[in-house]
Structure formats: structure tokens, C-alpha cells
Amino acid sequence: ANYFSKFSKPPVICKLVGRKVLDGIGQPTLEVEIYCTVKNYEKRICSTIMASHSQIPEHALPETIEADEKERKDSVNTAVGWVNESLNTLLRGLESTDQCQADKMLGEYFANKVQEKKEIQKREEEEAAKVTPVPALCPPAPIPKQKKGGRPVNKVLVAENPIPPAEPAEPVLCGSLAIGGTSLAIAKAGATISHVPLYLYIALLKHDQESPKEMTLPLPMVTLLNCEKNLSTKLKLVKEVMLIPPVELSLKQGIERIQDIQKEVTRLLESSGERPGPQADSKKGKAQSSGKKAEPPPLKIISHLGCLTTGYDNLEQLLLLMQTACKNIGLELGTDMYLAINCAAHQLMDYDKGKYEILTGTFKNPDEMVAMYVEMINNFPFIIALIDPLRKEDREQWSSICCALGSKCYLIAEDAATHISKLKTDQNINIATCSGVVLKYINQTKVSDLIELTGILDGQRHITILGSPDGESLDESLVDLAVGLGARFLKLGGLSRGERVAKYNRLLAIEEELAANGTLR
């Protein structure tokens, strides 16, 4: 039976099913199921759930959040419609192992949708122009001029401290989730039909079907603390504190060591009797007068990133905690464990002042930020990676910081990098001025896009980091993508919340599998 099955017709896609489901933070997202005709029978092969990603800043206004949620629902509903109707018809009869052709068809379909959107917008603008000739006869309307002239202070400040204005957010076409979800689902189906794990299937696609003799696992960037920027504490510079195990440890040993550090950090915070956050008010006597019993330390608050949520008054306070925790369990930062810090600088910029607010009431211009980072890395050499230390618009300072620190730590662009679609078309956008880029599998990203872009990054000797979006799901495909693409790092969040722990468990399983096969480098 096995012999004759080799001569049977290869399985082809017979049906796609799109469904609205919830992600790890309860937001709607898209699930895509693939059905194939296998030896004349319709068979469900696999499904994939897309992670959701929001571009709105943390703690935005309620109306902004409400508008974003409505937009997300509309996008998911549109994506479900695309999958069940247009894409279902378009891809029917295609071999599930023909990833290149599938992604080409998906790309053309998406390009047509973008063009349709532009034509609709153009028609709406033309219709609006026909309706507005009467008001156009009165251009010197007083109200608009007052609004424009109502910002004289801002204009003066911008002139004194010229900073590049914020680039507009990359537009996301409603329904684009359908493209990424379908592409990944087809890749999973191809791996299942080919009887190989997804990470090996991706590696074969990247290396023109040549099986790699050895495979390297990405180093995990495990988020230990999420420092929220809206707390009463002063430190704004740090969004995430991440631990990176040394390369000589196995992944299993590295995760166990990180768990030990996490337990000790939690113990230290609990033994202090109060959350670091309220210490900002100690000058006013609030923390001292209230006592330990008045406000129990909410240390068990786990953020959506799967780690503890806390806050600090300064960077030294935070790093001292990390050093103490490691020392207490016989480890040394810089030898037994390393730190990475996500600065999320785009959230720090005060555009009225033209400066970054690194502490409450303390501002620095882009050049001063570079000097501050140089001093930080010189004082704390165990920090081996900075993510988004500057906005992407500050290209001159990116070049400066890379010249100053490029040999001492990784300078990584996450939100400071452009979207995958733009990186593909213009390979020089912000890549030349950083060590590497965090890539996220979201929206219209296709598997072929990731393969192409990681090839470009490899050729330019830039590192690839695959990152987990804010709204993760239980789908573990991101880990297989990272291993198959040969990513240097994998940024998954913390060691809590099921949707994130599932990915760490998948990474551990892949390590065992590669070690058993003798292909783990």
C-alpha cells in the first residue's frame, strides 16, 4: 500500500474555512482551516490562528481604544469573508506543497484589493470635491486660521529643537489577516502532507529543498519584567527587561536558570513589603505612612506579555535588583546570564518639547539619548541588546549609536523598523543602521516574504529576531518559523500565560528532536 501510494495523485486543496476566534487576550482574530483531497477523500489537514497586533500606544484614550476594537472586528469579519469565498475559490485544486505558487496568488489577490481600495478612496474624494465648491469660495475662514495660528509655541519649539516628525503609521488594509493566515495554513498543510515537521519544511523552502545538515536553535529573549510607563514611578525608559541565557547552555538549562532568577526576583520584591511602584510617593510620606498592610504588593499581576508588571524610579534601582537576584542564587550577570532592554523609544517622545521623557520630568534630545546609552552600556556591560533605543525617524542618531556601541551590544529595531512589505521593496530602510530587526508574522505577511527577507538580512550580516505580537494565540507556528528560518533570537514574552508557554514548550520539543536526530548544532 505504501509503495503504490507514491504513484497516487498528490493531495490538492479542496476547501478553506475561515472562522472568527479569540486570541490570548480575548480579542477577535482569524482561524484558517485547510481541507485537502487525499486519495479521493476530503480530509481536514490543519488549521492556524493568526496573532493580532495593535498599533495604538499603551493606555490610549478610551475613544481611541474603542475605534481600534471596532476596526479589528471589521478586519476579522472581512478576513473571514475573504477566506470562505474568494480565496476558497482561488486556491481550490492547488497542490498544498506548492507554497511559492500559493503565495504568488495570494500576493496578486491582495494587490488587487489594495488597488480597489485606492479607487474607492479616489471616487469618494472626487465626489466630496463636487459638493464643496461653495465653501471653497470663502477660503479665509477665521476658525481654521485660528486653529493653525493657535500653535505658535509649538512652531517655535520645533524650530529650536528640530526633530524629524513622526512618520505616519503604515496603513493596514481591512481583511489583510486572511493573506497571512492562509499562507501559513498552507505551509502547515504542506509539512503535514510531506510528513516532516514545519520547521524542517520551512528550512527546505528557504534552502531550495536542500536538507540542512545542522540546525541552530534561536536564543530565547525571555521577558522577566514589564515596566509600565503609566505608573506613579518615575522610570519611563524601560518597557521590558529580558533575560538571554549564554550559548553554552542547552535551551532546557537556560529556561531552568531563568525560572530560578524569576523566583528570586519575585521573592525579593515580596520581601520588600511593597511594590516598587508606590516608592515614587515616599517623598510625600505616602508609602511610609500607609504601611505594608494598607496596600498589599500586587506582584502577581501578570501582563499580557506573560511576566510580572512593576515600575521603578530609576534604571540603577532596576539593575541592582537584577544583580542582587542573580548573586543570591550564585549567578553573575554578564557571565551566567545576560540582559536585554526594550526601550520602546517611540512611546517616550514629547513632540511639544522635541525630546524623549526618560524619567518623569526629565527630557533628553536624540543626541543626549545616544550619550546616555553609551554611558549605560559602559557601566552595565551585561546588557547585550537594546531594542528600539530611538525612534525610526532619528536616523542620524541610529548611525551614531551603532558606531559607538555596535561592537558592544545588539541594537535592534522592532517598532523602529518598517513593515515587512516595505523592507522587501526597499532593502535599505533603516536596516543599515542597526544590528538586526524584529520580524512579526502579522496581517498580509506571507511565508515567502519571511523567507526572502531573512535571506536579505543574512546577506547583509544582520541578525533576525522573530517576535511575538501583543495578542498571541495558542498557535505554535512562530517557533517553527524561527527555527526553520535560522533566526538568531526568539522574542516570545514571559514564562506565564498559556499562549506564550506553549511556544516555549514547542521550542524545548524541537531541541529534543534535533538532539535525537544528531542535527542540533
Cα gap 201→209, rounded to integer Å = 8
Give the helix/strand (H/E) hosting 152: helix 152-160
Burial letters 294-329, b for 16+ CB under 10 A, else e: eeebebeeebbbbbbbbbbbebeebbebbbebbeee
Cell of 125: 474624494
Task: Return the closest-CA partner of residue 394 out of 369, 358, 363, 359.
Answer: 369
Q: Give the CA count within 13 Å in the CB-facing half-sphere of 161.
A: 18
Backbone angles phi, psi at 229, to 5 degrees: -90, 0
Residue in the structure block whose three cell numbers are 531563568: 258
Q: In sequence order, what E strands does 380-474 have?
A: 383-387, 410-413, 436-439, 463-467
Q: In sequence order, what E strands does 365-499 have?
A: 383-387, 410-413, 436-439, 463-467, 489-493
Cell of 420: 515587512
Confirm if 274 and 240 have CB atoms less than 8 A apart. no
User: What is the longest distance spanned by two Cα atoms in the chain?
Assistant: 84
Give the helix/strand (H/E) hosting 358: strand 355-359
Our CA angle for 100, 106, 112, nearest 5°, is: 140
Give the helix/strand (H/E) hosting 5: helix 2-5
Confirm if 356 and 382 have CB atoms less than 8 A apart. no
Task: Return the closest-CA partner of residue 315 out of 368, 375, 384.
Answer: 375
Q: What's the distance, CA 4 to chain centroid? A: 46
Q: Catalytic positions, please?
A: 443
Please count the other Cβ atoms lying within 10 Å of the Cβ belonging to residue 273.
12
Amino acid at 335: T
Cα gap 359→20, rounded to integer Å = 41
Cell of 121: 478612496
Q: How far apart are the first and last CA of the chain?
A: 37
275: CB partners within 8 A, 6+ apart: 269, 295, 297, 298, 299, 310, 311
